[in-house]
Amino acid sequence: LSDSISPALRRTLARTGVEVRTSLPVTGLFREEGRVAGVMTREGLLTASSVVLCTPIAATARLLTGAEASVASHEVAARLARLGNTALIGIHAFHEGPVLPSGIPFVTCCDEPLIQMLFDRTGELDEQNREGLPGHWISVAVSYADPYLDWDDELMRTEYERVVYAAFPDAPTITEFHVIRVKRATTALTVGSQRLRPDPSDAGEGVILGGDWLDIDWPSTMEGATRAGLSAAATILGHRGDSLMRGWQHDDDWPDWPEPPRRGAEGWREW
């Protein structure tokens, strides 16, 4: 996604005068006269008319608390802490050649607890980005991976090989195999968690919330993060007097955006 989205996004932001600073952790919120007026970083204070928090749950809860934080801010932090997180595991296997049938970008593995989907990552890349890969890249994303965090890489590989070679007996040999574990990756949406998810303005003090843990009716996915970001943007625009954004909900179409192409129509694959 970095190669697909980041270059175009950065060019667009630069054209509109937006400065992007990476590797600059925020250490705290700067409060002035009962409102958040900026953020503290290791390089000093950055003042702002609005502050949007799209940080992970633990970091957001930390930033929202403190001696000067409002009651509403503390309450949101407590709700987020009760939500908690679940783990993700990413499995990346490199084969000597293609594994999935030609033209098939992914397959679903029914009745499999761990290896539930196989994604042809090499097939997603252009020729330039395929250079340097140690083989044909197949990835597996394991959601709610907490029960498998104690599995070592060898056990993961054994399970992967069992599923892949049962489905595709002629699949080429594996040349490299890697496992990435993220213990606090996504929001833990357990039974009753809906009431814990905040709205963008719930923290008060001028802070706008925009993480995928917002009350947007979606789980922690890329689509959920997009809905949360749009909700935060609509909240800011509404506060600044944009009549189109007042009352905007995350299920609404964004004003002036083109209609997405229908499945199979021209431009569908690019979209």
What pTM was estimated for this model as a whole? 0.81
Residue 1: inside a domain: no
In-domain check, residue 207: yes
Nearest to 179, CA basis, from 144, 210, 213, 154: 154
Token pair for 268: 């569908």
Cα distance between residue 28 and residue 65, in whole Å: 9
- Compute the distance between CA of residue 30 and CA of residue 38 in angstroms, rounded to an integer: 5
- Looking at the fold, whether 196 and 264 belong to one and the same domain comes out as yes
Tally of CB atoms within 10 A around 80: 25
pLDDT per residue, tens digit, the chain (271 aa), is 666 678 888 999 999 999 999 899 999 999 998 899 999 999 999 999 999 999 999 999 999 998 899 999 999 999 999 998 999 999 999 999 999 999 899 999 999 999 999 999 988 777 777 788 899 999 999 999 999 999 999 999 999 999 999 999 999 999 999 999 999 999 998 888 999 999 999 999 989 999 999 999 999 888 999 999 999 999 999 999 998 898 899 989 898 888 777 777 877 666 5
- Tell me: do 91 and 146 sit in the same domain: yes
Query: Do 160 and 172 belong to one domain?
Result: yes
* Structural domain range at position 110: 86-186
Domain stops at, among 186, 216, 247: 186
| Residue after which a domain boundary falls, among 186, 218, 251 | 186
First to last CA, the chain: 13
Q: What is the CATH number of the domain that holds 52?
A: 3.50.50.60
CB 122 within 8 A of CB 173: no
Contact 119, 141 (CB under 8 A): yes
The domain total for the chain is 2
50 falls within a domain? yes
Which residue is listed with tokens 């250079």? Answer: 131
At 59, give phi and psi (nearest 5°): -65, -40
Contact 39, 207 (CB under 8 A): no
Q: Are residues 198 and 269 in the same domain?
A: yes
Give dist(CA 82, CA 11) in Å, integer.
Answer: 38
- From residue 203, alpha-carbon distances to 45, 71, 265 in Å are 21, 9, 43
Residues 211 and 125 in one domain: no
